[in-house]
Amino acid sequence: MNDLSHTAVADAARYFDTWVAFRQQYDRVPGIQAAVLHEDKLLLSTAYGCADVEQGTALTPQHLFRIASHSKTFTATAVLQLVERDQLRLDDRAGRWLPFLRGTALAGVTVRELLGHGGGVVRDSGNGDYWQLAHAFPDEDRLRAILLDDGAGVLPANERFKYSNIGYSMLGLIVAAAADMPYDAFVCEHIVEKLSLENTGPEYDPDRAGDYATGYTALSYADHRIPIDHVDTAAMAAATGFFSTAEDLVHYVAAHFHGDSRLVSDASKRLMQRAEWKVEGRGGAEYGLGFGRSMIGDRLVFGHGGGYPGHLTRTSFDPVGRLAVSVLTNAIDGPAVMLAEGLIRLVNLAESASPLLEPSPVDLSRFTGRFATMWRVFDVVDLAGRLYLLDPTERDPTSEPVTLAVVDDHTLRISGGTGYAPVGEPIRYEFAVDGVASVQAFAMTAHPIDRVARAVRTHDRVSPGTPLLTDGGGDAPAR
């Protein structure tokens, strides 16, 4: 999939925006920020919900999120920059740059093994309750103590993929030693400032405290969420400290598209994006040097997620198709991964649509929208000139797409779908002066979702003879 249609991506991004808005309410997430980029064009930068629920502050595309393990991609990029400058080698052993490790097993772990999570290093130390704010994240002295006390000996190097925040914190120390400057200064100068990422940085910035989206607890252990304070990640910044916005992140990963030399060469990108390990228990997922990789449909996608106390985030990109998506949520259980993967799947669906032999004489936009019955919600979507019926409540709305054909300016026909879909049956529209009034589909009358939502707010019961909504779309004359 090298020649990615801009129309397909633009249509997918347009629908994706409405799906993000739906999922923010459906999943009861405080807020979701998202961005989509194709080639060098930002197609979407959007936000829904609240940056601070208690204050009623609306989330904007400019609010900052803690992007946690996205930090590893910045650290890996910094390492490859130093390699290209002959200041560091991938086969250097940690003991060369961190003399306090000499005489320990960790001294022999290589930079490459740390980058690919193959060093067997402890994940978060024997006491990782800093993730619950029980105590501070380790400073450099505490990190050194962790590395000397329980950093090694968990698994032998190169036995298997073993994700390690402590291992990437080691890389932060190595970058600082090789560059002869603090880690945060190096990544700011050589990555953040190089790309003019004005809303990105390697660690919590208290001077911008009011710009951060408040993070929240999960609904898996309580019936409501409470806010979580932001904290500094100290010596673990190289593993989990960064903040950013979805818009900045898609511009950042665009510098990892093939042919872009602003950060590292294509040779270094190929090295970073090559599979080092298969990730056990994650289907076909793999990990390179700082980036995860997986197949979404037939598209090879790279990226990283991040889990910080109160924020869950994901950025994915196709360096060949020059496509990037980032989704940031301010809840520990936010649907960031699902949504980011969903955008890729929507692009794949739009790309897979065979071109119509003749364009429809009817403007397809008259049929599109989100509709609801008491039983279900469905979307009629135009993707690259083809109409689909999708279910926004599904984790993957493209898993069972129903194809629609235009019969006339008031009627569609269900032309394809699963065996449970009413294939061959019509979908009939009634229009009012302000758009769609009602849709007769699946043997029921559906209405635009905002009208159904208003009806629910004004009813206290649905009873025989007093349905939620009656046929028709209001008092405006049909057309």
Between CA 306 and CA 321 the distance in angstroms is: 24
Geometric angle at alpha carbon 304, from 29 and 284, rounded to 5°: 105
Q: CB-hemisphere CA count at 13 Å for 152?
A: 21
- What is the bridge-based pairing of β-strands 369-372 and 377-383? antiparallel
pLDDT at 354: 64
Helix (H, G, I), strand (E, B) or coil at 183: helix
First to last CA, the chain: 43
Q: How far is CA 142 from CA 76, 127, 235, 383, 447, in A?
A: 23, 11, 8, 53, 60
Q: Among 13, 24, 76, which Cα is nearest to 293's?
A: 76
**Tokens 């710009």 identify what position?**
211
What backbone phi and psi angles, to 5 degrees, belong to 305? -105, 175
pLDDT at 360: 74
Between CA 141 and CA 148 the distance in angstroms is: 11
pLDDT at 102: 92
Longest CA–CA span in the chain (Å) reads 85
pLDDT at 355: 62
Q: CB-hemisphere CA count at 13 Å for 94?
A: 31
Burial of 276 (0-12, 13-18, 19+ CB in 10 A): buried
pLDDT at 475: 37
Burial 130-154 (b: 16+ CB within 10 A, else e): beeeeeebbeeebbbebbeeebbeb
Mean pLDDT of residues grouped by 10 in the chain (479 residues)?
82 98 98 97 98 98 98 98 98 97 93 96 93 97 91 79 96 98 98 98 97 98 97 98 98 97 97 94 92 96 98 97 98 98 97 70 94 96 95 96 94 88 92 95 94 91 83 39
